[in-house]
Homo-oligomer: A and B are copies of this chain.
Amino acid sequence: MYDLAAADPRLRFSPYCWRTRMALAHKGLAVETLPWRFTEKDVIAFSGQGRVPVLIDGETVVSDSWEIADYLEKTYPDRPALFGSDDARGTALFVKRWTEGQLHPALVRLIIADIAKILDPKDVDYFRESREKALGARLEDHVAAKAENLKRLGDLMAPLRFTVKDMPFLGGERPAYADYIVFGALQWARCASPQNLLEDDDPVAAWFGRLLDLYGGLGARAPRPG
């Protein structure tokens, strides 16, 4: 699996790749991850597109984290299910839309300057240009608005907070793919930034801690910057 990396190849910080690593671990499938940088489009051109994760499973190449989850579910039906039922897959798609449309934009404003610091030098110009265009502001402007952005993040996570206050995981008693979608977002921040964005007494922090500890501490053991 091609996995987004920083200049330090041990720093892996793509929310989409983290979903996939957790999904593979959930299925009990071992994986070798290959560090990949934003500008190495040619390296993954064989996949027919330019983003990671790209999963190679024998003769099969699958890109896009959602496609990979579907592929794993179809190809390894006897392993623990990522989606217990059709409606779980449907609501997981809703969680994905919420995560990407609401949570990612709130997080990126808080960590974007930290991401720029850890990138491979060849990625820096690409990253600054594409992100400043997408967000409509200079990276440094987001740092200045930190208090406001933190408040926004806290408010935004309310539906997650009130869910995991009442049950251990979005999957109920056990983690499911919906958990990994949201986990990927917070693990992105954790692996790209030395900041701690969650209050210790936030139920989201307790839930995130439970996910970090899964699969032999796959998430917890991931190196952080600074």
Contacts and interface: CB of A to CB of B under 8 A. Distances in A.
Best-surrounded residue of A91, A102, A169, A170 (most CB of chain B within 10 A): A91
B101 A172 contact: no
Contact of A159 (B102, B158, B162): B102
Nearest to A170: B90
A160 B159 CA distance: 14
A91 to B, nearest CB: 4
B174 A86 contact: yes
A152 to B, nearest CB: 13
A85 interface: yes
Interface in A97-112: 97-98, 101-102
Interface in A59-94: 81, 83-94
Contact of A85 (B84, B95, B159): B84
Nearest to A162: B97
Task: List 7 tightest A-B contacts by C-beta distance, closest first.
Answer: A84-B85, A87-B176, A91-B91, A86-B172, A87-B171, A88-B88, A85-B85
7 contacts: A87-B171, A91-B178, A93-B163, A93-B170, A94-B95, A97-B160, A98-B159
